[in-house]
Structure 1
Amino acid sequence: MCYQMKGAAMTADAVSPSQAHSLARDAETMPRSTRDELDRVQIDDLDMLGLAVLAGPANVIMQLALPAVGYGVYESKVDSGNLFKRPTKRTRTTLTYLAVAAMGSPDIRKAYRQAVNKSHAYVRSDADSPVKYNAFDPKLQLWVAACLYRGWEDMQRIYGDPAKITEEAYQQGAVMGTTLQMPRDLWPATRADFEAYWQQTVDELEIDDTIREHLMKIVRMDFTYPALRLLFGRYSETMTIGFLPEEFRKKMRIEQTPMQRRIFNAHNAVARQVIRFMPKPLREFPFNVMLVDLEWRRRTGRPLV
């Protein structure tokens, strides 16, 4: 699998702020009518959206398992978006992106896309990078979107109604990529095509020691504050390993212990019952709050990312 991307010759170090603004503007490659149409698409069934927080670390690991994505994050010069340097901000911006992609208005999607583009302009490989990457590469955005959609499916299978995994729901899932630069026609045409793309990509994944250790830090919650790690580290590790698909566990060379499996299954059994009685605003939390926060940031002129 080749990770050479057009435009990767310009290194992150070589991108000045003015160039970043130019690159962010140029990333809007879709015709305006097409972009407007895509930005109007919303996900109808959001019952499992809030639960995505539980599986968030596992989903991030899946995304970063693709070498070009993994090294793009590992080598990123954008410290303000570094999970290990700014964990609270990174968590907020990631949750906000999911909220914008699923529930955002066309206007808010455009504003957030432009803000993300300015940060992505700096995420480019240099001469020393083991693989070539460019955050504007639509194929990399396809993989990230595929992981997010697959995570939604997993939430439905574990907590919701597997019958909701329909062709229509799959087509709506494309917004996870089209909210940025992924062209709509890059999203596999049918759910069956998606499965073929997914299996082929996963089969070809190779996680080297550098990225594996970086991902293990996410498993262990090394990115968060010591007090939180002490209180929730074991729980988070159990949940992350549980949500991580078996093929990714094998590539990461980690195993789910019998005790972790029992805790994970017991947690899910209780959660399934609780969800049945939760009002819609709670099921959508914290993503509904992220949209309110984003609107406040726009009104007050604060940075969106």
Structure 2
Amino acid sequence: MTRSIQPVPSTPGAEPTDRRRFIAGPGALLGGPANVIMQLSLAPVGRGVVESTVASGRFDLRPQKRGRTTLTYLAVAMLGTEEERVAYREATDTSHRQVRSQPGAEVRYNAFDPKLQLWVAGCIYLGTADSFRLLYGEQTEEFSDALYRESARFGTTLQMPAELWPADRAAFTAYWESMLPQLSIDEGVRRYLLDQVVDLGPYSRVQQLLGKHVNRFFTTGYLPQWFRDELGLDWGPRRQRAFELIMRGLGFVIQRLPEPWPQYPLDKHLADMRRRIAAGKPLV
């Protein structure tokens, strides 16, 4: 049974109250690590993260801060005002200016590269669409098209020009398939993803004991098979069935929660950003 979501006539200028229909906060939490793996599987993105000299923004050094920054970015992109997106883009630019490869580097990258931002935005869109399918079942074509159009904000909230976003879902599928042969995970990125992202390396021993196996289960469940194979993550039909049942059970509960709980914790991070703007505090 599909979730009883009424499609909305959506455009890139849709009101935030409409875009709330495209947000599943628990999906962002559970699927986030898998999405990071997909993003970093494009070598320039992977090397840019692993080699970053911006210590305050590194997940392996400041996991809570990195998590807050990422969730705030997602919330601002989909639920914020145009003025808030401009403010957050400017704050992010400060960190991104320092993320670029050194002369002579084997893998060249620049965090301002709009094509790399397109890849990151595309991964986030796919993760969002997967979350809706796993939590609530298949959606209508109209809803899926509206979600896709709104997801361009994941790129345009940074420096990706709107015209770079593929025109429709069919064009996006063609783009995605053209990118798959370009993916590669070198040993340094692989170790970073397994140790830090999958096994919660930056967290305390107690937090790892409590959350590592749960995180590995949901992360592996969200990943397409190619990424599982690349990282050596074990999976099979029984785990897939268990994963789908758990996700559908979560969706059953979430869709019965009153607003704004289905968007938690994204709504919390958006409110925190607004308090920071009012107080003149740094946003990232």
SS of the aligned residue for 2:260 comes to: helix
Match of 2:185 among 191, 197, 207: 207
In 2, are the aligned partners of 1:46 and 1:284 still within 8 Å (CA)?
Answer: no
Structure 2 distance, partners of 1:254, 1:224, is: 21
Match of 1:272 among 219, 232, 251: 251
Query: RMSD value over aligned CA atoms?
Result: 2.0
Which residue number corresponds to residue 152 of structure 2?
A: 174
Which residue number corresponds to residue 255 of structure 1?
A: 234
Structure 1 distance, partners of 2:38, 2:276, is: 30
Superposition pairs for residues 104-119 of structure 1, below 5 Å?
104-119=80-95
The structural deviation recorded for 1:47 is: 4.4
- Whichever residue aligns with residue 161 of structure 2, its letter is P
- Whichever residue aligns with residue 45 of structure 1, its letter is R
Which residue number corresponds to residue 75 of structure 1?
A: 51
**CA gap 1:38/1:118 in 2 versus in 1, 3 angstroms:** farther
Match of 2:120 among 118, 130, 144: 144
Q: What stretches of structure 1 of length at least 5 have no aligned partner? A: 1-36
Structure 2 distance, partners of 1:184, 1:80, is: 29
Alignment partner of 1:51 is 2:30: no
Structure 2 distance, partners of 1:239, 1:80, is: 27
The structural deviation recorded for 1:70 is: 0.5
Superposition pairs for residues 218-233 of structure 1, below 5 Å?
218-233=197-212
In 2, are the aligned partners of 1:40 and 1:105 still within 8 Å (CA)?
Answer: no
**CA gap 1:134/1:38 in 2 versus in 1, 3 angstroms:** farther
Q: How many residues align?
A: 269
The structural deviation recorded for 1:153 is: 0.8
In 1, are the aligned partners of 2:125 and 2:151 still within 8 Å (CA)?
Answer: yes
Structure 2 distance, partners of 1:112, 1:273, is: 34
Structure 1 distance, partners of 2:12, 2:95, is: 22
In 2, are the aligned partners of 1:68 and 1:132 still within 8 Å (CA)?
Answer: yes
Structure 1 distance, partners of 2:15, 2:183, is: 31
**CA gap 1:67/1:180 in 2 versus in 1, 3 angstroms:** same
Q: What stretches of structure 2 of length at least 5 have no aligned partner? A: 1-10
Match of 1:197 among 170, 175, 179: 175
Alignment partner of 1:303 is 2:282: yes
Which residue number corresponds to residue 78 of structure 2?
A: 102
**CA gap 1:178/1:256 in 2 versus in 1, 3 angstroms:** same
SS of the aligned residue for 1:162 comes to: coil
The structural deviation recorded for 1:233 is: 0.7
The structural deviation recorded for 1:155 is: 0.8
Structure 1 distance, partners of 2:116, 2:253, is: 36
TM-score by length of 2: 0.89
Match of 1:122 among 92, 98, 101: 98
TM-score by length of 1: 0.83
**CA gap 1:136/1:45 in 2 versus in 1, 3 angstroms:** same
CA displacement 1:45-74 (0-9 Å, x = unmatched): 234244211101001111111100000000
